[in-house]
Amino acid sequence: MTAAEVDRTRLAALHAEEEQRFIDLHPTSAHLATAAGEHLLAGVPMPWMTRWPGSFPLFVESAGGGRFTDVDGLDYVDLCLGDTGSMTGHCLPAVAEAVRERTERGITTMLPSTDATWVAAELSRRFGLPRWQMAMTATDANRFVLRFARHLTGRPRIAVMDWCYHGTVDETLGVLEHGRAGDRVVARPGALGPQVDVAVTTAVVPFNDLDALDSRLAEGDVACLLMEPALTNIGIVLPDEGYLAGVREITRRHGVLLVNDETHTICAGPGGATAAWDLDPDFVVIGKPIGGGIPVAAYGMTAEVAARLEGPMLGHDIDVAGVGGTLSGSALAMAAVRATLSSALRQEDFDVAIPLAESFTDGIQGVIDDHRLPWHVQRLGCRAEYWFCPPPRAGAEAAEAVDEELDAFFHLWTVNRGVLLAPFHNMSLFSPFHTQADVDAHTSVFRAAVEALTG
328 and 189 fall within a common domain: yes
Angle formed by the axes of helices 114-127 and 331-343, to 10°? 40
pLDDT at 268 > cutoff 90? yes
397 and 249 fall within a common domain: no
Query: Is 205 inside any structural domain?
Result: yes
Query: Is 2 inside any structural domain?
Result: no
pLDDT at 27 > cutoff 90? yes
Mention every residue, 6+ apart, whose C-beta is less than 8 A from residue 235: 378, 385, 387, 392, 398, 401, 402, 425, 427
* Integer Cα distance of 304 and 423 in angstroms: 40
Q: What is the pLDDT of residue 261?
A: 98
Q: Answer yes or no: are the C-beta atoms of 361 and 129 closer than 8 Å.
A: no
* Integer Cα distance of 216 and 212 in angstroms: 6
* Integer Cα distance of 418 and 442 in angstroms: 9
236 and 135 fall within a common domain: yes
Taking each continuous run of H as one helix and of E as one strand, the counts in the chain are 15, 16
Query: Is 215 inside any structural domain?
Result: yes
Q: Average pLDDT over the chain, rounded to whole?
A: 96
Percent of the chain with pLDDT over 70: 99
Q: Answer yes or no: are the C-beta atoms of 15 and 408 closer than 8 Å.
A: yes
Query: Is 3 inside any structural domain?
Result: no
130 and 202 fall within a common domain: yes
pLDDT at 3 > cutoff 70? no
Percent of the chain with pLDDT over 90: 92
Query: Is 116 inside any structural domain?
Result: yes
Average pLDDT for 56-79: 97
Q: What is the pLDDT of residue 5?
A: 85
Q: Is 89 left (phi over 0), alpha (psi -120 to 50) or beta?
A: left
Average pLDDT for 274-281: 98
Confidence of residue 353 (pLDDT cuts 50, 70, 90): very high
Q: Answer yes or no: are the C-beta atoms of 207 and 393 closer than 8 Å.
A: yes
Of 203-212, 225-234, 289-298, 316-325, the poorest mean pLDDT is in 316-325
Average pLDDT for 378-405: 94
Q: Answer yes or no: are the C-beta atoms of 384 and 428 closer than 8 Å.
A: yes
Residue where a domain stops, chosen among 343, 370, 402: 343
For 247-286, give the DSSP string.
HHHHHHHTT-EEEEE-TTGGGGSTTHHHHHTT---SEEEE
224 and 351 fall within a common domain: no
Collapsed DSSP state (helix, strand, coil) of residue 231: strand
Confidence of residue 319 (pLDDT cuts 50, 70, 90): confident
- Tally Cβ neighbours within 10 Å of residue 348: 9
Q: Answer yes or no: are the C-beta atoms of 164 and 331 closer than 8 Å.
A: no
Query: Is 1 inside any structural domain?
Result: no
> What is the CATH number for 360?
3.90.1150.10
Collapsed DSSP state (helix, strand, coil) of residue 185: strand
Q: What is the pLDDT of residue 314?
A: 85
Average pLDDT for 91-116: 96
Average pLDDT for 326-355: 97
Each residue's pLDDT tens digit, 392-430: 999 999 999 999 999 999 999 999 999 999 988 889 999
* Integer Cα distance of 117 and 171 in angstroms: 32
Each residue's pLDDT tens digit, 323-337: 999 999 999 999 999
Residue 62 vs residues 73, 74, 195, 293, 309: alpha-carbon distances, Å: 10, 11, 38, 14, 44
Residue where a domain stops, chosen among 325, 343, 361: 343
Q: What is the pLDDT of residue 129?
A: 98
Q: What is the pLDDT of residue 48?
A: 86
Domain that holds residue 391: 8-90+347-454
The tally of domains found in the chain comes to 2
106 and 42 fall within a common domain: no
Of 57-61, 337-341, 386-390, the poorest mean pLDDT is in 386-390
Q: What is the pLDDT of residue 313?
A: 85
Each residue's pLDDT tens digit, 441-455: 999 999 999 999 998
Mention every residue, 6+ apart, whose C-beta is less than 8 A from residue 345: 87, 88, 266, 270, 289, 290
51 and 98 fall within a common domain: no
Query: Is 424 inside any structural domain?
Result: yes
Of 16-30, 40-54, 152-166, the poorest mean pLDDT is in 40-54
Q: What is the pLDDT of residue 425?
A: 83
308 and 391 fall within a common domain: no
78 and 115 fall within a common domain: no
Residue where a domain stops, chosen among 286, 316, 343: 343
Query: Is 125 inside any structural domain?
Result: yes
Average pLDDT for 276-299: 97
Collapsed DSSP state (helix, strand, coil) of residue 385: strand
Identify the residue with better confidence: 47 or 143: 143
220 and 352 fall within a common domain: no
- DSSP H helices, 79-226, are 93-103, 114-127, 138-153, 198-201, 210-217
285: which strand partners?
261, 299
- In terms of Cβ atoms closer than 10 Å to its own Cβ (0-12, 13-18, 19+), residue 367 is buried
> What is the CATH number for 232?
3.40.640.10
Q: What is the pLDDT of residue 237?
A: 97
Average pLDDT for 70-99: 97
29 and 117 fall within a common domain: no
pLDDT at 316 > cutoff 70? yes
Confidence of residue 188 (pLDDT cuts 50, 70, 90): very high
- Tally Cβ neighbours within 10 Å of residue 284: 29
284: which strand partners?
260, 300
Confidence of residue 2 (pLDDT cuts 50, 70, 90): low
254 and 162 fall within a common domain: yes
